[in-house]
Structure 1
Amino acid sequence: MKVLKFGGTSVGSAENINKVLDILKLESPSTQTVVVVSAIGGITNKLIRASQKACDGKASYEDDFIEISSIHHKVVEELFLKEKDSDTIKKLVNAKLNELKQLLDGIFLINEISPKTSDKLLSFGELLSSTIIYHTLLSRSFNAEFKNAQELIITDDNFTNANVDFELTNLNIDLCFKRNKADITVLPGFIAKSVHKESTTLGRGGSDYSAAILAAALNATQLQIWTDVSGMYTTNPKLVKQAKPIKELSYQEAIELSHFGAKVLYPPTVLPVLQKEISLAIKNTFEPKALGTTITHNSANDGLPVKGISNIDRIALMTLQGNGMVGVPGFSKRLFETLAQEKINIILITQSSSEHSICFGIKDEDADQAQTAIDGAFEYEIALNKLEPIIVETDLSIIALIGDKMKNHQGISGRMFSTLGKNNVNIRAIAQGASERNISAVIAKADVKKALNSLHETFFEVKTKQINLFITGVGNVGERLLNQIKQQHSYVKKHLKLNLRVVGLSNSRTMLIDDDGIKLEDWKTQLDQGQRASLQGFLDYATQLNLRNSVFIDITANSEVAQIYPDYLRQSISVIACNKIACSGKLQYYKSLKALSLKYNAAFLFETNVGAGLPVIDTLNHLITSGDRINEIQAVLSGSLNFVFNNFNATTAFHDVVKQAKEEGYTEPDPRIDLSGVDVARKILILARESGYELELEDVSLENFLTKNAMDASSVEDFFKTLIEDEGHYQALYHSAVNHNAQLKFVAEFKNGKAKVGLREIAKGHPFYNLEGKDNIVMFYTELYPEQPMIIKGAGAGADVTASGLFADIIRIANN
């Protein structure tokens, strides 16, 4: 024999009831089937609302009654298309509805509703739905019988949450089904009768409980709970899109998951079938072929130590502490007795080994009551300063890892806390039972989504790590980076197990945010239609979304953007800076960014500040980490200046070469930024700082080769005019180098704690002499490389290589 329970959504309409009948066609032929049904979806809440209005003397309760009636009439009309089939059921439904109306009228007249009356009122929902379904089965030629559960399940007089008398109940069920030969027996769930023949209800999850009681009494082969989801999930699918149904669970795992927020199952439901070791299946009425979740005495050994991740919201954390507790017995007893007297349930408990404090979690709504009661109970000790007044923290949640096999696997808690720490999820309290079936942590409610997603990724999606990118500055380099992310997405996901998602885009005019990830096929169109750009607004979105593994990427040269890095780092959002302003600005600001990066476990990378896509800073950091020390740096760090001087000669005007460099994207829109040498000065400053030296930009000696006319030009157009006018000056520089059998290179140097940049004549045979095109070269002289330097050489300018350097920084962060 099987017991099938169908919830409110499963019987919420004629269409859904027909789905139930299809399921019964498959289930009932092989064995006798007991069908337990809830009220039609939403009816219980409507009954409560109508009764409250009636109790308050509001005549509008009649409107609610009309709505309840019309819902049932509509279901009947759609199920019973033939007049001869519908007469009987219509009379029965109308009779029940008339009884309900009389009861509501009575509540309205006396303006009062007792728990006993409430139970009688609520019983109408299940009685109506079960009656309709039973007669539908008869009309479709099923061999069916109806039995009122109130005749079988006997309880005490604890109305609204009655306790079952199992001795009488089991006897009634046994006698009933010994005589019952029908293939299908339909019963209403949730409702029962007291030993004094009064209507009672079984409380929260009552219909599931009714089904479990019947299954246990009948020694059923299985209890099936049919609902609107395909079983119990690895975590809340509303918060974690990658959540998936769990194929098998043990009773204990199911109870733990249910207790910690899995709404599919209410813990007491499991107890009757647990005692009889009857398997329980949770199935989806709307996807009957889906496997669902099977709950048995022992779940299958599928190799996964963690079966699910659950959470409870609206938690208050309360802490009783004080030196007067240490070594004094009885504090815990008094504390918990005080809470018990107030009927406050404790969800989580943890205590310090020093006995200096006891910490426990309760529901938010109980916090004020608990605080008053505890401070009153310990008033004497508080007055003597032996105890502090109870400390209350609200707006918290509990997250829990659950699994029978966790105790046999080392490092589960370590992975859990490491994952949360990397995502800046602060843990307020921890509890773990001796069975090691549950590891619980109290966190801020605002961090729940991020915590569940990151933990789910760690324990159920270890093959793929999601990286969420917020990019500001989508000009030439930004566009190339987006193209690289799009082009390499599949490769990175397959080979590096990384899922790169662009969640935010911004330029100087508009910004675009999409929690599901921006489709890069038409990002320009989407961004054009985005909202007005705002640096603070972009930050606010990144903070509010609170996504795991978030990265902010600055591809601008804007000082205001550089000043907002600390706000990202404080939210544990990593920062990648193509913008050199932050790292070459004030030393104190640079050092503060480094400190924030460490404090909030958020990476701060800026590889493209020097050498575009060349691994200059990364190599330097590896040298320092290995214990090496930088003694001297010599470098050509401007791809644009190298391009200019490689193409400038006696027959080619300096003006024309600079113009070409600008048009091909090797210089900034204002070439003076490159030609003035300030950009190179910033780069050598960054390398000096990364080498451990404390310098400011003004400490870098800058030897300018441009004429005064060029530097004083009021516009880019005027600047180019000066290049024509002063061609003789630039030709003189060129001919001097030729006469000395040398090449012109703009060189950055750092030695003995001092840095300088300027145009140099490089003699033949020097590593810089044959540096071609837009290439950069950096030579590190260190204690390990004192005579033959470590050399890094390659393309140091251009949108593609700069984008490549940014992409490499993203991968570095992702692999951390």
Structure 2
Amino acid sequence: MTQESIVLENEFAVGNTTENKLAKQAIHVHKFGGSSLATAECIKRVLEIIRQHCQLNDIVVVSANGKTTDALFALYTQAETLQAEKLNADLSNESEAAQIATLSAELVQSVALLTQQQEQLISELLNENNANTISHLLRKDIEILTTWLSGDLALHHNDILALGEVWSARLLSALLNEQICPSNSIDAREFLVIENEQNCLVDYAISAAQLRQQRQFGKLAVITGYIAKDNRGHNCTLGRNGSDYSATIIAALVAARTVTLWTDVNGIYSADPRVVPNARKLHRLPNGVAKELGRLGNPVLHAKTLLPLVNPLSEHHTHLHVASSFDPQVVGTEIGKFGQIAKQELSVTYLNDLLIAHSESFIGESLLAAKAEFAPICLDEEQGYIVITQAQQKSLSQWLASHDTEVTFKPVSIIATVGHRVAEHGDIRARFKRSLKTAQPLCLANGENNHSLIAVLPEPCSIELLNNVHHDMTKDARHIGVVVAGLGNIGQRFLELLPAQLNRISLLENVHLVGLLSSKKALINNDGIDVNQALTMFEQSAHEYTNEQLLAWLSNHPYDELIVVDITPCEQFSLLYQDFFEQGIHVIGANKWAASSSSEKYQKLIDTAAANHSMWLGNTTVGAGLPINYAIKDLRQSGDEITEISGIFSGTLSWIFQTYDASVPFSTLLLDALAQGITEPDPREDLSGRDVQRKLLILARKAGFELDLSDITCQNLVPESLQGLSTQEFLAQASQLDSYFKEAFESANAKASCIRYVARLQCVEDDNNATNAVAKVKAKVSLEVLPRSDAFATLTPCDNIFKIESRWYQDNALIIRGPGAGRDVTAGGLHSDLVNMCQQLAHKQNKVTIKGINE
């Protein structure tokens, strides 16, 4: 379901009350393939999917269980062979009679095996009463099947093949009635009318009217896929992938909002993942591109399936999803109408065992007739050729003979790059040609609606060539969505810098701003937010949201990667990090709360992020844009061991104590800093030392020390008498601070020293047990008296300074100094993290995990 706004509709699953089940009128079609229904365990998974994702007015379409249709076709072939042998056999000949008896016994055995497989599913899934009822119906079908197999096979060919879907729908409906909700099974032959089996053109008006009569109010309909009736009333099938086609037809008949194909793969890939290990999932595909992919050999999509997505009755557009019933929590691929980001997707496909046919009839008006008759893979009027399947050779030869023209055939294959209007992009065409330089293609053609570039090859397309072309065409295709949370001074500056960054940094080429969050409102757009108008668009279109709604969208985002940039100061938003990491979402945080949470919570975040391959960067949590986090990480990764971290970590306290000289009361200076925006709205947040305490904890953990806030002694510079007051009351009584700081300044000054608020972490040896010295950590943040020559004493107001001592930096400490606050440097630090993260993501290899692809 496309979600262009964070305001998500309520979903009422079939397990809820009847009122809720019927409250939402939008219809969704869910189709389950044979592999999804192959075993009792698979069917139980399907049952849970229906419980979680369906409502009573939805429709479920089913294939036959597992390989049941293959088994029925095998029975038909066995019976056909038996009848042919009987027709030609001399039953008086003992050997021939024995052969007939063997074939008859094998057919009986095959019927018995199929019956046993169905009985096993019934007995494993249903209670005794329901099992008896469904088994009785099965046995009656088997009796009829046995009659058909011994009678006019051609007459009952489609009747035999239809049984698998009938059994599957009947079993699932009975199971739903027993465990989930009211349900009825519907045989699609009761309503679905097509012109004939060859073209499968649907009579939508009649079929829609008859389906309305079959559906029962208050019951979840389970409908057979694959089967229908023609306009003469004969039973027929819809051919390869017929159940998928049934699902999209039915969706068109009821104007469904979505169709979900629950199968054994979790989406559509940029190439066949069985042979291209680096294929990436395509999260969203425009309808036209999907149809072209299906036409040109995609192993999951088929062009016929996609035809009904635009309803011929109403021009209603239905979105198609491909998802895995084996991994239902994994977001699949959505096919429908999308904006520019989805239109940038590229994929590569191929087809072997083709023929290129050259003839004079493929020049001029007769080419149009050939195109209508044979729907060739590609064609070129100037060169007079069409490319067809080998199965079409005989019919094409006959057709050309009637035109009294000659034809030459040559075996070929094709490899194609598919994307929205891709043939109109000269740079993509040039890149495609370069990728084929060793293959020496016979020709290059444009595909349907210019959605593909097709190269005709003189040899079968090799796996090596496919992988090379796929790499060349899709290496820059990873799409990264960015959600910015926090639109205050720094958040606004981050957004102001973003347009230039996207244009300047090649690593950000496929980065898209897709979400903006304040504490109360959100703007989410899957098709991207114009970075030049982001704040204006937020003001115009943002809606109130809840965390549950936000997480619901984030769990279904249509990007290869999603990054949340947290520029909020609040603990509440940091509590969502656990959910983000569980969903594989990356976080860039200026927010200090998560990184300074309890050891248990912090370690859980680290472990969850690692387990789900999420990255968490927070260079701006300490030191704004200064590279202190990078330095500590580099030292540790290089094998160094940090023994001391110290410095002035607060830009506010840096300014205050670099400026304070007792010439004016401390409270006057404090109020001046508040007026300039240097302090927090409540200056006690700065004077309490808690911010510095959290920063020291963050750095300590980065350096490998296992500490909690309680392990860091913190000197609160606010007297206890002022700590419980309101902000206004505190400001009115701030003069109570004056005598303490004046005395501290004058005492230090008398010693040629100064006062500074310093953070210190030191490793010291606990040698109480002299034979086994153990390293201990002492950490505190407090007001210190320092010589005026000390590195911490001579800062530019608002600067931070960090001193690191280690095994490598013992005699001459590593010092990092610079602005520790400010919207520009902090926003710049966030952009540094964004580039760093995108650089790491560019080298990330997503392992393709699939259960299989239907053959």
Q: TM-score, normalised by structure 2?
A: 0.49
Structure 1 residues 539, 782: CA separation in 2 closer, same or farther (over 3 Å shift)?
A: same
**Other structure's SS at 2:532 match:** helix
Alignment of 1:19-418 (within 5 A): 48-49=203-204, 112-113=233-234, 184=366, 187=369, 220=407, 234-235=417-418, 237=420, 281-284=445-448, 292-297=453-458, 404=462, 406=464
Q: Deviations over 1:658-693 (max 9, x none)?
A: 233334333322221111001101111111111111
| Amino acid of the structure 2 residue aligned with 1:759 | L
Q: Deviations over 1:548-570 (max 9, x none)?
A: 13211111122221111121112
**Other structure's SS at 2:595 match:** helix
What's the CA shift for 1:477? 1.0
Structure 1 residues 521, 780: CA separation in 2 closer, same or farther (over 3 Å shift)?
A: same
> 1:271 — aligned with what?
none
| Amino acid of the structure 2 residue aligned with 1:112 | G
Structure 1 residues 210, 556: CA separation in 2 closer, same or farther (over 3 Å shift)?
A: farther
What's the CA shift for 1:778? 0.7
> 2:503 — aligned with what?
490
- Which of 477, 481, 485 is equivalent to 1:472? 485
Gaps of 5+ in 2: 1-193, 214-228, 240-303, 305-356, 375-387, 764-776, 841-855
1:616 to 2:616 alignment: no
What's the CA shift for 1:636? 0.6
Aligned residue pairs: how many? Answer: 476
1:809 to 2:842 alignment: no
Decide whether the 8 Å contact of 2:563 with 2:586 is kept in 1. Answer: yes
Separation in 1 of the partners of 2:389 and 2:211?
25
Decide whether the 8 Å contact of 1:222 with 1:278 is kept in 2. Answer: no
> 1:520 — aligned with what?
531
Gaps of 5+ in 1: 1-38, 59-105, 119-159, 161-172, 193-202, 224-230, 254-276, 300-402, 408-436, 440-454
Decide whether the 8 Å contact of 1:634 with 1:747 is kept in 2. Answer: yes
Alignment of 1:451-466 (within 5 A): 459-462=472-475, 466=479
Q: Deviations over 1:162-183 (max 9, x none)?
A: xxxxxxxxxxx99x999x9998
> 2:758 — aligned with what?
747
**Other structure's SS at 2:779 match:** strand
Decide whether the 8 Å contact of 1:665 with 1:798 is kept in 2. Answer: no
Separation in 1 of the partners of 2:563 and 2:364?
63
Decide whether the 8 Å contact of 1:233 with 1:243 is kept in 2. Answer: no
Separation in 2 of the partners of 1:679 and 1:182?
79
Q: TM-score, normalised by structure 1?
A: 0.51
Structure 1 residues 282, 780: CA separation in 2 closer, same or farther (over 3 Å shift)?
A: closer
Structure 1 residues 207, 675: CA separation in 2 closer, same or farther (over 3 Å shift)?
A: farther
- Which of 720, 726, 730 is equivalent to 1:708? 720
| Amino acid of the structure 1 residue aligned with 2:581 | L
What's the CA shift for 1:476? 1.0
Decide whether the 8 Å contact of 1:249 with 1:293 is kept in 2. Answer: no
**Other structure's SS at 1:767 match:** coil
- Which of 700, 703, 706 is equivalent to 1:694? 706
Decide whether the 8 Å contact of 1:498 with 1:814 is kept in 2. Answer: no
Q: Deviations over 1:33-52 (max 9, x none)?
A: xxxxxx99xx9666644786
**Other structure's SS at 1:519 match:** coil
> 1:586 — aligned with what?
598
> 2:46 — aligned with what?
none
Alignment of 1:470-619 (within 5 A): 470-493=483-506, 496=507, 498-528=509-539, 529-619=541-631
Separation in 2 of the partners of 1:563 and 1:57?
48
> 1:644 — aligned with what?
656
> 2:729 — aligned with what?
718
Q: Deviations over 1:182-240 (max 9, x none)?
A: 98487477779xxxxxxxxxx999999966875799554799xxxxxxx9852454999
Separation in 1 of the partners of 2:426 and 2:605?
36
Decide whether the 8 Å contact of 1:234 with 1:244 is kept in 2. Answer: no
What's the CA shift for 1:115? 6.3
Alignment of 1:400-439 (within 5 A): 404=462, 406=464
Separation in 1 of the partners of 2:819 and 2:391?
71
> 2:789 — aligned with what?
765
**Other structure's SS at 1:520 match:** coil
Separation in 1 of the partners of 2:202 and 2:836?
58
Decide whether the 8 Å contact of 1:280 with 1:296 is kept in 2. Answer: no
Separation in 1 of the partners of 2:212 and 2:692?
81
Separation in 1 of the partners of 2:474 and 2:702?
36
Decide whether the 8 Å contact of 2:577 with 2:605 is kept in 1. Answer: yes
Structure 1 residues 55, 634: CA separation in 2 closer, same or farther (over 3 Å shift)?
A: closer
1:660 to 2:658 alignment: no
1:683 to 2:741 alignment: no
| Amino acid of the structure 2 residue aligned with 1:600 | N
Structure 1 residues 491, 703: CA separation in 2 closer, same or farther (over 3 Å shift)?
A: same
What's the CA shift for 1:739? 1.7
Give the greater-gyration-radius structure (CA): 1
Separation in 2 of the partners of 1:785 and 1:181?
80
1:737 to 2:739 alignment: no
Decide whether the 8 Å contact of 2:416 with 2:452 is kept in 1. Answer: no
Decide whether the 8 Å contact of 2:415 with 2:456 is kept in 1. Answer: no
Separation in 1 of the partners of 2:674 and 2:691?
15
Decide whether the 8 Å contact of 1:465 with 1:498 is kept in 2. Answer: no
Structure 1 residues 606, 404: CA separation in 2 closer, same or farther (over 3 Å shift)?
A: same
Separation in 2 of the partners of 1:745 and 1:220?
92
> 2:802 — aligned with what?
778
**Other structure's SS at 1:544 match:** coil
RMSD of the TM alignment (CA)?
4.7
> 1:339 — aligned with what?
none
Query: Which stretch shows the higher mean deviation, 745-754 or 528-537?
Result: 528-537
**Other structure's SS at 1:631 match:** strand
Separation in 2 of the partners of 1:748 and 1:491?
38
**Other structure's SS at 1:551 match:** strand
Q: Deviations over 1:768-804 (max 9, x none)?
A: 1101210011111101111211111110011221111
Separation in 2 of the partners of 1:621 and 1:514?
36
Separation in 1 of the partners of 2:210 and 2:802?
84
| Amino acid of the structure 2 residue aligned with 1:297 | P
What's the CA shift for 1:297? 1.5
Q: Deviations over 1:644-667 (max 9, x none)?
A: 111222223322322333343333
Decide whether the 8 Å contact of 1:748 with 1:756 is kept in 2. Answer: yes
Separation in 1 of the partners of 2:515 and 2:719?
43
| Amino acid of the structure 2 residue aligned with 1:470 | V
| Amino acid of the structure 2 residue aligned with 1:514 | N
> 2:161 — aligned with what?
none
| Amino acid of the structure 1 residue aligned with 2:456 | I
Decide whether the 8 Å contact of 2:619 with 2:628 is kept in 1. Answer: yes
Separation in 2 of the partners of 1:242 and 1:535?
41
What's the CA shift for 1:520? 2.3
Separation in 2 of the partners of 1:525 and 1:539?
24
> 2:16 — aligned with what?
none
Decide whether the 8 Å contact of 2:482 with 2:512 is kept in 1. Answer: yes
Separation in 2 of the partners of 1:185 and 1:691?
72
Separation in 2 of the partners of 1:582 and 1:181?
69
**Other structure's SS at 1:525 match:** helix
Identity %: 26
